Amino acid sequence: MGRIPCCEKDNVKKGQWTPEEDNKLSSYIAQHGTRNWRLIPKNAGLQRCGKSCRLRWTNYLRPDLKHGEFSDSEEQTIVKLHSVVGNRWSLIAAQLPGRTDNDVKNHWNTKLKKKLSGMGIDPVTHKPISHLMAEIATTLAPPQVAHLTEAALGCFKDEMLHLLTKKRINFQFEHSSSGTPAHDVSNCLPLITTTAGIYKSNNEEEDTIQKIKLSVSRAMAMQEPNSLPSNKPCTMVSNGEASETSYAAAYNNTHPFIVPAALRYHLSPSSCGNDGDGSPWNRSMCTGSTCIGVDDQHQQGGLPCKGEDNNDGEETGVEKAIQKGTDAINADCILWDLPEDLMNPVV
DNA sequence: AATTGGACCAACCGCGATATC
DNA sequence: AGATATCGCGGTTGGTCCAAT
């Protein structure tokens, strides 16, 4: 027969751990190690399931864990890796010394998802939301598109309002390089200018919301993928402070070729938003016309890369996951600038 | 001061893979 | 070889704290 049960199910305590329990577990593990989780609670005098002890140790008590705030560099790493491996929290956490998969997962769900949504980036696909809506528009009949657009505006209303109350957004339409008059909106996506500032009145806010609706409708109307010539990209200009803007800059500058021509926009060197607060988000993600990204981070020690430590050809967990060709890797995603060993998984 | 709602996070649950008998 | 426990992981839940009303 198989193994004996890990614990007596009916004599097990659940819920928050007390400091006394933590002490018992820590001191027992310090003396005897973590060889057999089934025996640990029994021998340590704890009325806990072995599984519960293991979780408590790995997620909280381990001495090598960090408990503070996530740094900008850690957040960047999480977002970059998430764009490649999806919700493989253990893989992502493996690249962040001192962080557990639970930490990373919680931080993603409570902070980073909202941050990306607020920037107009879909946290699941890592695509601009306008891109997703336009993609949907190409597959639906116009009446459905209209309803969907309204629904989408409802979905992202909170993020929109959050942004609107933080930064003023002006909409213009222009070609960045063609010389086409700025008011000619027939074949171009909106140019969004964010500037530091706040709304002066409700009227202005309402007006801007209307402009957003208008621009989305126009994006929806662009159902012909070739309607925007690839050599006439629209420009998304931002001169606001903002690590948030540099998120977008990093996304787009890193892999602009992934974005369909009809939705392509580019950021000029001055538009990267890295002239503002000096946040690591800006410094490492976009410096002028190109994004430095992870290679730069490597030199700064920003992204701990397991493959770097052991150059004996052994695969990192991330590489293994990628080489499985899992569905978490969407070739149509906008990907972050990752090291060669992470970016060329398919053999 | 009391209530409410959201943010945060620790812990639990369930499942698949692996190990053990 | 098959049955069953353990491990590791990702998803979800529930408790606590805090700010807004």
Give the lowest-confidence range in A8-12, A227-231, A258-262.
A258-262
Domain A9-61 - what CATH class? mainly alpha
Helix (H) / strand (E) containing A131 = helix A129-137
Q: What are the structural domain ranges in chain A?
A: 9-61, 68-347
In angstroms, how far is CA A220 from the centroid of its own chain? 25
Q: Residue A13 in 3-state DSSP?
A: coil
Residues contacting nucleic strand B by the 7 Å CB criterion are A 1-3, 13-17, 51-52, 55-56, 59-60, 67, 102-103, 105-107, 109-111, 114
The structure tokens 């490492």 sit at: A284
Considering only residues 78-107 of chain A, list those whose CB is below 7 Å from strand C: 87-91, 101-102, 105-106
pLDDT band at A43 (very low <50, low <70, confident <90, very high): confident
Give the lowest-confidence range in A141-155, A289-303, A316-330.
A289-303
Decide: A291 and A285 in contact? Cβ < 8 Å.
yes
Is the pLDDT at A209 greater than 80, yes or no? no
Q: In the structure encoding, which two tokens stand for residue A345, read together?
A: 């998984």
Quote the mean pLDDT of chain A: 57
In the chain, the amino acid numbered A313 is: G
Please tell me whether any atom of strand C lies within 7 Å of the Cβ of A190: no
Rg (CA), chain A: 24
Closest CA to A122 of A286, A266, A330: A330
The set of long-range contacts for A182-185, using a CB threshold of 8 Å and a minimum separation of 24, is A185/A218
Is the pLDDT at A85 greater than 60, yes or no? yes
Decide: A335 and A343 in contact? Cβ < 8 Å.
yes
User: Which nt has its C1' nearest the CA of A109?
Assistant: B8
